[in-house]
Amino acid sequence: MFSKARLRVANVLLGVTGSVAAIHTPQLHGELRAAGHDVKIVVTKSSLYFFDAATIAPTAAGQRNKNVVILDEDEWPGSSYQRGDPVLHIELRRWADVLLIAPCDANTLAKLALGLTDNCLTCVYRAWDRTRRVILAPAMNTLMWQHPVTKRHLDQLTTDLGAALHVVLPISKKLACDDVGVGAMAERDAIIALLTAL
């Protein structure tokens, strides 16, 4: 039994990883907000190669809004931890009704399947309440998608999460590397439709 019966308007934690599909993050954020969801974004370092975090709900000074876009540096700010300091990945887990990782690159998929926790996003996932839903929208090169280890990783996540896991399968099109085949992140409207239907 899930802790939320159906998600109509939700606190959505959007995880963004190092796939070229991360270029869609500003639009996906805006479309989720337009659908009435509250959205926070936790990004991996490699995802920032594909979009500028300061362009999403920027502060009046045009800087990154740390309440909307979360970096690893926000989890580990560089100063010494003191007992009683907030633990960001736990706070994010408590806040979120659903974890949406879009795009989910091959590297992060492997980390999730193996339980690795080397960034804020993977820490959130490892601490996730498994009664709450997780939506993955994989995005990677066709041969990476078709590699046997990818299926093993998805199977492991299905074993770990059961009915809480929802995968929006990648689609076939011309990829950023000029290959044509399955591996592109699903269209944003398909991702939002799945989230809304839960």
CATH of the domain at 85: 3.40.50.1950
Average pLDDT over residues 6-22: 88
Question: Which residue of the set 37, 89, 153, 166 is catalytic?
Answer: 89
Identify whether 3 is part of a domain: no
Q: What is the pTM of this model?
A: 0.92
Number of domains forming the structure of the chain: 1
Identify whether 43 is part of a domain: yes
Q: What b-and-e string marks burial along 157-170, b requiring 16 or more CB atoms within 10 Å of the CB?
A: beebbeebbbbbeb
Q: pLDDT: is 40 or 59 the higher one?
A: 40
For 172, counting Cβ atoms within 10 Å of its Cβ (0-12 exposed, 13-18 middle, 19+ buried), the class is: exposed
Identify whether 2 is part of a domain: no
The reported pLDDT for the residue numbered 107 is 98
Identify whether 5 is part of a domain: no
Spell out where the chain has E strands.
11-16, 38-43, 69-70, 98-104, 133-138, 165-167, 171-174, 180-184
Identify whether 69 is part of a domain: yes
pLDDT tens figures, 110-161: 999 999 999 999 999 999 999 999 999 999 999 999 999 999 999 999 999 9
Cβ 70 vs Cβ 40: under 8 Å: yes
Identify whether 4 is part of a domain: no
The structure tokens listed for 140 are 């990677």
Residue 145 CB partners (closer than 8 Å, separation 6+):
138, 170, 181, 182, 183
Identify whether 21 is part of a domain: yes
Residue 191 CB partners (closer than 8 Å, separation 6+):
28, 100, 102, 135, 137, 168, 185
Our answer to whether residue 89 is catalytic in this structure is yes
Q: 3-class DSSP state for residue 55? A: helix
Range of the domain at 189: 11-197
Our answer to whether residue 177 is catalytic in this structure is yes
Identify whether 18 is part of a domain: yes
pLDDT tens figures, 21-57: 999 999 999 999 999 999 999 999 999 999 998 888 7
